[in-house]
Structure formats: structure tokens, C-alpha cells
Amino acid sequence: MSDSPVLGLLKDLISRPSITPFDAGCQPLLIERLEKLGFTCEVMEFEDTLNLWARRGTEKPLFCFAGHTDVVPTGPEHLWKCPPFEPTVIDGYLYGRGAADMKGGLAAFMIGLEQFIAEHQDHHGSIALLITSDEEGPFINGTTRVIDTLEARNEKIDYCIVGEPSSTDHVGDTIKNGRRGSLTADLTVKGVQGHVAYPHLVKNPIHGCMAALAELTETQWDSGNEYFPPTSFQITNFNSGTGASNVVPANAHIQCNWRYSTELTAAQITAAFEETLKNHDVDYDVQWIYNGSPFITQPGSLTNAVSLAIKEVTGLTTELSTSGGTSDARFIAPTGAQVVEVGPSNKTIHKINESVNIADLESLVDIYQVTLQKLLT
């Protein structure tokens, strides 16, 4: 029995070992198919990252599917049920690195798109794909730079589906209509190294920051709102010491991360953080890493179309959610686009034996196709 179209395409994509930031031939495979559908394909290569902007049509509204071809490293390959870049079907699941995150969503959209265009050659508006090989890496030469290019020429996306694995137990049970912001502080607390027996000659950086960090961990940053839970602050790394028990270290290195709601801005967080350190007389340097601002897509045309498509295809009433980490949606939403994330289950993403339910994959094809019908016909 031959593979279905989506299963065949997904196997082909998984077999290309596109560990970030390398595309490994995935985008040329997509370009070949897209050009046959009448898309104009524009390759944007920035540093070590390959990006694709493909568009069919010139009219509004512009519907965009966004995704990535890069995957995270496999981890110890001997722990996998099968070689991670040799896609294998076991008990109704396809195993392989990228099966769920997010070559599964990419393959499903391609097949859904092909089916949609076969039935609607003269659809309304335009369709585009924004594909990068830099989502799992530093994310500096991928979607963000493509969006900068589009913004510079005033090419505006109206609706965008990011094909990240958004579902929980069954495809379509959850879609992401927003994400929390992510902000990281890379903090160095300065001290004076010396012998523990001479405390008057040393300045312990660990002691110096403990009270400030305790206050920060106990701070209620906000109460959240109808879309977001309260802001979360976590200390993720704390490194100090020489390895000797009789030496006070010269400095301490701490990393902290906030996942914050639309109730706060990055500027408010950084100001409060630095004020707390100064109030406790901490001698420090800090570097800030802005990973993305919070955004929300209010219920409207896009969420309605996707929710109705999911209901028609699966019978499920989907849940709108802003939980989880970040995605490239954070670069697209600030342009004014309505953005949601719709994809397979996220249960196995980044894990050993990553897999996707094949039946869910087939349903996802239909969800994407019906969504296009509702928005562009």
C-alpha cells in the first residue's frame, strides 16, 4: 500500500537532516512544488540561514502559512526506536526528528494547499508561505529578517497560520492565539576574591545578591488578564565559586527569565529588576536579551475560520490558548496580522522518539484546506 500524499511528503522532509540552521534541501523541494502551483518563490539568504518567501496572487487579503524546516539535534541516536532521519511508521505513528516540530505541519499545509488550489484556481486574495531554517536556533537571520524585508516594501500579511505543534491530545483541540513575552537577564554580580578566613578582605558576590534575588522571586509582577496567566519569573542558572571551599569567589553569574503578559512591558521589567538590585547595594553588570514581546490575536475572522474548520473536520470545539513557549509568530503579529498557531500534538517535540499520529496528520490537511476555503472563497 502506497503512502498518502501527506505521509509521503513528510517522509521526504524528515529524511533530510536539517539540524538548525541548515535546510538540507527541504526548501528546494517545496519550491519545486510551489512553482507548479503558480507561486513566485523568493529565496532570502541571510548569513547561514535559508529563507523562502513564496506568493501566489497580488490582491488582499494576504493569507500566509509560516513555518520552519530546521530541527533540533537528535540526542543519543541509539535511544531512538529507529534512526531519527529514517522516517518509520510504527503502530499508526510516524517517527523521526521533526515529525511534529514542525515538518508535520509543513507537509500537511502543502498538501492542503495543493488540494485547495486544484478546486479554487481563482481564489480571492493571495496566499504566501514564509519558511525559515532558523527557528530552532538563534532566530536572528530567519523570520524576523524576512518580516523586516516585507515591511520595508509595505507587503502586509493579513492572516497567518504558524504550523507549530499547538495541539495537546488530539489535533485541533488547542490553537494558540497569542504568546507571552520572553525576557532574559544575564547578570554578573561583582565581588572581591580572597581567603574565607579573612572576611574583612573579601566581598562575597553570592551573599551580596541573595536578598535581592529572594525579593524578586517573591514579587507578584502582575495578575495576568483574560488571555494570560500572571507573569512568571524564574532563576535559570546560578554559577559561582572556584571549586575550593576556602576561597570567596570574585563574581557570580546568574540568568533569570520572565514570561510576561500584556500587562507589562520589557522596559517596566528591566526598570523594576535594576531598582531592586540597587536597593540592595548589589554591584552588578547586566545584559538583556529580548526574546519576544507578548501578543494576542483577538477572536475574529481568523480564529473563527480555524475553529469552524476544526469543528467540521474533527468534531472538536477548540480551545484558544496562550500557554507554552515562544514561536516565530512573535515576529509576525507586530505587523498587524491576525496570527494563530495550528498544528499537531506537542507531546513528543524535541524528545527522543519524536512522532506524529498519522490520522491526526490527515485531519490537519483537511483543517488547513477548509480554513483556506472559509477565508479565500
Binding-site residues from annotation for Zn(2+): 68, 101, 136, 164, 350
Residue 181 dihedral angles phi and psi, to the nearest 5°: -75, 160
Contact present, 103 and 14 (Cβ < 8 Å): yes
- In single-letter form, the type of residue at position 105 comes to G
Pick the catalytic residue from 23, 135, 360, 366: 135
Q: Is 12 known to be catalytic?
A: no
d(CA 48, CA 32): 22
State the cell numbers at 50: 535559508
Q: Is 70 known to be catalytic?
A: yes
How far are the Cα atoms of 126, 194, 252, 255 from residue 238, in angstroms, in the given order?
49, 20, 7, 7
Number of Cβ within 10 Å of residue 284's Cβ equals: 20
SS (H, E, C) 105-124: HHHHHHHHHHHHHHHCCCCC
H-helix segments, 159-259: 205-218
Single out the residue of 55, 68, 121 nearest to residue 349, CA to CA. 68
Peptide bond into 294 cis (omega under 30): no
d(CA 269, CA 25): 42
Number of Cβ within 10 Å of residue 298's Cβ equals: 11
d(CA 30, CA 146): 17
Contact present, 332 and 147 (Cβ < 8 Å): yes
Pick the catalytic residue from 23, 70, 134, 360: 70
Q: CA angle, 233 as apex, 230 and 238 as ends, to 5°?
A: 170
Q: Which residues are catalytic?
A: 70, 135
